[in-house]
């Protein structure tokens, strides 16, 4: 008979994409060597390899086992709350770090008035990872960029349009996006004008860099990123430290470093940020939506 604890450890390794990542997210103390040893024992008991280590990838056998154990280990906490009488309300949420830091605390304070025993599992993530987690039932709700019609089983509600901006060092000579595109065009044509700084942006599979590439293509321009980072905060940090020009989103209520300036990219349409959840909205999700709508209305009214 397979060891249940070994299966639980494998669940976390598969869910978070590796042993080191699992150790950071297992809700009790356990060291990496212990996890590695017990996973090896599980593979030995099965006589099968469950995943490739570098880069991490589940084998077909690992996928089959994960699909089998995921509903149980993923729902243990919720079942526990139900058995205890349902007095605690839990929601698993994901959003970009700036949203978690600058906006969600106020939103959740409002929700807690209706659900005083609210329990939160918060994850920092952008669009592609959010979509994967929702698809695997690993989160219940997210605030993220919303594009087109959501995939089957998901619901989405647009909340706020965010304009795209360039982040430039404070001393940069550029004051408009048109100047930046003109400089890029002159540089690509062999002009003696100094070339632009390096481009700093989110990974290529994110909506913002994808739409920026489409804009460049329409103008027959190329500007491959020199630095890819996984958060808007890191874009600001690297621009502030002189690594280049960033393509990012203007976030209401955020304060930029005194070392940078933002320049609206007037040639790009704003991106829509909204709420995404799976299945029918529970009373807790409805309360979250209402609090987020109120927050979005404040920003819309402030711009009016």
How confident is the model at residue 75, as a pLDDT? 76
For the chain of 304 residues, list the mean pLDDT of each consecutive stretch of 10: 90 89 80 91 93 90 92 74 62 89 91 88 85 83 86 86 95 93 75 65 91 95 92 92 94 87 95 90 91 90 67
Cβ atoms of 230 and 126 closer than 8 Å: yes
How confident is the model at residue 154, as a pLDDT? 85
Cβ atoms of 162 and 273 closer than 8 Å: yes
The pTM for the full model equals: 0.67
How confident is the model at residue 168, as a pLDDT? 95
Residue 301 is encoded by which pair of tokens?
């009214």
| Strand-pair category, 260-264 with 225-228 | unpaired
Is the bond into 55 cis (omega within 30 degrees of 0)?
yes
- Which residues are CB-contacts of 218 (< 8 A; sequence separation ≥ 6)? none
Domains of the chain: 4-76 (1.10.10.10), 88-159+272-303 (3.40.190.10), 164-269 (3.40.190.10)
How confident is the model at residue 13, as a pLDDT? 92
Q: CA 144: distance to chain centroid?
A: 7
In 3-state terms, what secondary structure has residue 140? coil
Contacts 24+ apart (CB under 8 A), 282-288: 284/89, 284/91, 284/111, 284/115, 284/118, 285/91, 285/140, 285/141, 287/110, 287/111, 287/114, 287/115, 288/91, 288/107, 288/111, 288/141
User: CA nearest 199: which of 159, 246, 231, 241?
Assistant: 246
As a whole number of angstroms, the distance between CA 46 and CA 204 comes to 38
């Amino acid at each position: 008979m397979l060891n249940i604890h070994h299966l639980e450890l494998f669940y976390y390794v598969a869910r978070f994409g590796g042993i080191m990542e699992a150790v950071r997210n297992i809700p009790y103390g356990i060291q990496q060597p212990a996890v590695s040893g017990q996973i090896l024992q599980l593979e030995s008991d099965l006589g099968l390899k469950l995943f490739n280590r570098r880069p991490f990838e589940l084998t077909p056998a690992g996928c089959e086992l994960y699909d089998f154990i995921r509903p149980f280990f993923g729902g243990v906490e919720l079942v526990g709350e139900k058995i205890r009488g349902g007095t605690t309300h839990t929601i698993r949420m994901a959003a970009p770090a700036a949203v978690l830091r600058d906006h969600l605390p106020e939103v959740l304070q409002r929700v807690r008035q209706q659900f005083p025993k609210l329990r939160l599992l918060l994850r920092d993530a952008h669009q592609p990872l959010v979509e994967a987690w929702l698809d695997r039932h690993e989160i219940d709700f997210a605030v993220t960029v919303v594009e087109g019609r959501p995939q089957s089983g998901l619901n989405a509600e647009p909340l706020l349009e965010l304009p795209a901006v360039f982040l430039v060092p404070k001393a940069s000579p550029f004051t408009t996006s048109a100047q930046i595109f003109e400089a890029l065009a002159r540089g690509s044509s062999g002009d003696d004008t100094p070339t632009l700084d390096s481009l700093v942006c989110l990974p290529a599979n994110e909506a913002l860099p994808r739409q920026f590439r489409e804009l460049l293509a329409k103008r027959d321009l190329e500007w491959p990123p020199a630095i890819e980072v996984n958060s808007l905060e890191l874009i600001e940090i690297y621009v502030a430290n002189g690594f280049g020009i960033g393509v990012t989103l203007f976030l209401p209520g955020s304060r930029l470093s005194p070392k940078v300036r933002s320049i609206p990219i007037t040639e790009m349409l704003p991106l829509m940020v909204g709420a995404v959840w799976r299945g029918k909205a529970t009373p807790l999700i409805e309360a979250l939506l209402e609090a987020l709508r109120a927050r979005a209305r404040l920003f819309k009214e402030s711009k009016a």
